[in-house]
Amino acid sequence: MAAAGRRSTPLTARAAMVGAFRPASPKPDRGPMAAAGRLRVIAHPAVDLTKETLAQAEAAAIAVTRPAAVNARRVGRIVQRASTRAAGAGNTARRPSVRDGQTDRSLRRPDGEGARRGERPWKRLSMSYLGALAVVGLCTALAVASAWLVGRLVPVENRKRHHEVGSPVFSQVGVMISVLLAFVFSEVWGEYRTAALAINGECAALHGAAILANAVPDGQGLPVDRAIAVYTQTVITSEWPMMADRHRSPAAAHALGDTMRAAVRMNVSRPVDLATQNQILSLLAQAHANRETRTFQVTQGMPGFMWLMLIIITAVLVGFVVFSGAESPTHMVLAGLYAASAAMVLVLVRMLDFPFEGALAIPDTDFVKMFGEVAALARGAGP
């Protein structure tokens, strides 16, 4: 250690600590200095050990005042952290990088999206028609069973006594949930329509850019047409399935960037061609804005607290109907119909909440149609 500390350059004997330090023999402790003297370094050929690391370990071993076993573990942790930092400093080139919106392969999901921590699978359950029918049927069955059970346990006369108090409360709560559901449905339907209009605007802008690029003479617009076709194909084959899982495709974003770069690099000199190039860039910028709107709607849904509040208020209203003073079987029929109606409204809101998943998911029909037209333009624009 002393010889190593007198050197002016780091030690390159490729020695490091593995677990760190341990006693040389199982003899009883005779003080801190004796314990430090009995510690020895375990050599490892994988990490370079500098003189600063050795000095830190030596100082920690000499300054200890606890028993030897505790000192060994403590000094071992100190030197192990130091050696880990020294080894990590030489491996910075191996760290994953992010370039042009695409992540390193080691960080990608199988579907191409970066891994996300804390993601809860229940939030990604899509609502199919069969699932919607199952939810409505289950709610109806629970309401009917509850009404039957209440009819058997609570006499009708006892339930009718509370009508004077229960009827006004039921009316007020019913008005409250009706207004709330109206606002919620209007908002969800508006977001659904926004996503559909964004898709239509994106496809229209890309198609217009492809037509203008095809009109540029000498085949200067051919790279733009081909880039638009590649982007459209990437959206259909990669991004659309990922949007059903509430992700966006970095490959599609990169392909759209390639399209804009191809439009900028068009070698045109005539004023009319320069005007056409500016129109192409304007349409591509419009397509990019619509794409951002479309991908923004992928993950935007109702907050969980709002869902909880809607479910609780609906359950309270169903409870009012279950404890009403109607005779059976009218009692059970009213409870089942009310529960089914409320469940259908909530299920419909859930199916519209995320526009790219479930039974009411927006299809990729516009992109498929545009891809065929742009591919035909790209083939016709060739020399």
318: confidence class by pLDDT, cuts 50, 70, 90 = very high
Confidence of residue 241 (pLDDT cuts 50, 70, 90): very high
Nearest CA-CA partner of 248 in 308, 187, 293: 293
User: Per-residue pLDDT tens for 188-226?
Assistant: 999 999 999 999 999 999 999 999 999 998 888 999 999
Pairwise CA distance, residues 155 & 195, whole Å: 53
**pLDDT at position 124 over 80:** no
- Residue 243 has a pLDDT of 93
Q: What is the DSSP string of 89-113?
A: HTTGGGS---BTTB--GGGB-TTSP
For residue 377, name the pLDDT band (cuts at 50, 70, 90).
confident
Q: What pLDDT, on the 0 to 100 scale, is given for residue 87?
A: 44
- Give the C-alpha separation, 233 to 369, whole Å: 11
pLDDT classification of 77: cutoffs 50, 70, 90: low
The pLDDT of residue 189 is 94
Task: Choose between 8 and 131: higher pLDDT.
Answer: 131
Based on C-alpha coordinates, what's the Rg of the chain?
35
111 near 242, Cβ under 8 Å?
Answer: yes
Structure confidence at residue 126 (pLDDT)? 65
pLDDT value at 280 more than 80: yes
**DSSP codes joined into one string, 21-37:** EEESS-PPP--HHHHHH
Report residue 161 as tokens: 């006594």
Q: Which pLDDT does position 5 carry in this prediction?
A: 40
* Percent above pLDDT 90 for the chain: 46
Distance, CA of 310 to CA of 313 (rounded, Å): 5
**Angle at Cα 308 formed by Cα 305 and Cα 311, nearest 5°?**
150
What pLDDT sits at residue 163?
79
* % of the chain with per-residue pLDDT over 70: 66
Range in 52-61, 85-94, 207-216, 228-237 with the lowest mean pLDDT: 85-94
- Stronger pLDDT, 270 or 87, i.e. the higher one: 270
* pLDDT tens track for 53-71: 444 545 444 444 444 444 4
